[in-house]
Homo-oligomer: A and B are copies of this chain.
Amino acid sequence: MTAAAHSQSASFSANNDGERSDWDAGNCPVRDVMNQISGKWSTLLFEALAAKPHRFGELRRMVPDISQRMLTQTLRDLQRDGYIERTVFPTKPPSVEYRMTPLGSSLFEPLSKVLEWAAANHASIKDARKVYDESGLA
């Protein structure tokens, strides 16, 4: 179907039957997926795990600003959606490894392109903001 199923015309709009506003919540693929990967830390963790698996403490050091609460929670959410896999090694003290699943890797492919775009065009955006803010519309 591609994204075209969402874009213009009558796809997610006109419904002359007068029912189903079923695009709410988990029924809209775009929102359902974006909602997850758009968390404050999800993409950073994707990047961190893209190259190779890492342990909890490693991820913590790689993304220094994250709180352990959010690290735990974000990892759980990503695992729940099937993007990453959690493996516990019953050593003492325990060690836990997180790695991307095939599903996660397949998402990261297009996603990484967006992240590259972000890095490449960050300056343009900051410029645009400056222009907008200084045109007296603030």
Contacts and interface: CB of A to CB of B under 8 A. Distances in A.
Interface of A: 1-3, 5-8, 12-14, 21, 23-24, 26, 29-35, 37-40, 43-44, 47-48, 50-52, 54, 61-65, 79-82, 103, 106-107, 110-122, 124-129, 131-133
A51, A52, A113: which has the most chain B beta carbons within 10 Å? A113
Contacts of A126: 26, 32
A56 B2 CA distance: 25
B13 A62 contact: yes
**How many of these chains are in the complex?**
2
7 contacts: A2-B119, A3-B115, A7-B50, A21-B64, A30-B119, A106-B117, A114-B114
A109 to B, nearest CB: 8
Chief secondary structure at chain A's binding surface = helix
Contact of A47 (B6, B48, B127): B6
Nearest to A32: B122
B81 A47 contact: no
A111 B2 CA distance: 12
Given A3-B119, A118-B34, A128-B103, A64 B110 contact: no
Given A50-B7, A110-B110, A29 B118 contact: yes
B8 A62 contact: yes
A94 to B, nearest CB: 17
